[in-house]
């Protein structure tokens, strides 16, 4: 198994993760009810994770703002982190894959903390 090295790997990771999300009984209803536009959301996620993991530097924006008004709590963030780590582990191994898992844990904690404070 290879590490996360390029944009194709980022796309594999993100697509694998969102496939899990859409099959998950905790997260799928939130995504379905949010009216998400996948044709714009997925490229934004490729850019976000590409910027974090392979220094693509194409993401600009505030990732939290899109989540601020969703009816989500610690349970949702814990499930999000679990599924993301699962998607990484099923497809990749190496230092960048480990970094992706750590970013997911950190981002999940930060987002959940911000949600509690609002």
Residue 1 lies in a domain: no
The whole-number pLDDT of residue 58 equals 80
Residues 62, 82: Cα–Cα separation, whole Å: 23
Residue 44 lies in a domain: yes
Residue 11 lies in a domain: yes
Confirm if 12 and 91 have CB atoms less than 8 A apart.
Answer: yes
Using CB atoms within 10 Å of the CB of residue 33, give its burial: 0 to 12 exposed, 13 to 18 middle, 19+ buried.
exposed
**Which structural domain, as residue segments, surrounds residue 37?**
7-117
Q: Whole-model pTM?
A: 0.86
The whole-number pLDDT of residue 94 equals 98
Residue 109 lies in a domain: yes
The whole-number pLDDT of residue 37 equals 83
Q: How many domains does the chain have?
A: 1
The whole-number pLDDT of residue 51 equals 93
The whole-number pLDDT of residue 95 equals 98
Q: Kindly report the CATH number assigned to the domain that includes residue 45.
A: 1.10.490.10
Residue 2 lies in a domain: no
Q: Which portions of the chain are predicted below pLDDT 50?
A: none
Q: Which spans in the chain are helix H?
A: 7-22, 28-33, 38-54, 74-91, 95-117
């Amino acid at each position: 198994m290879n590490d996360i090295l390029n944009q194709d790997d980022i796309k594999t990771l993100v697509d694998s993760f969102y496939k899990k999300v859409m099959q998950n009984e905790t997260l799928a209803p939130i995504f379905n009810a949010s009216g998400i536009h996948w044709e714009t959301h997925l490229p934004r996620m490729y850019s976000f994770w590409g910027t974090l993991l392979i220094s693509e530097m194409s993401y600009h924006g505030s990732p939290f703002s899109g989540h601020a008004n969703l009816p989500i709590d610690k349970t949702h963030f814990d499930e999000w982190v679990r599924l993301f780590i699962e998607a990484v582990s099923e497809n990749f191994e190496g230092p960048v894959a480990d970094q992706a898992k750590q970013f997911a844990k950190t981002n999940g904690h930060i987002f959940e903390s911000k949600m509690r404070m609002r």
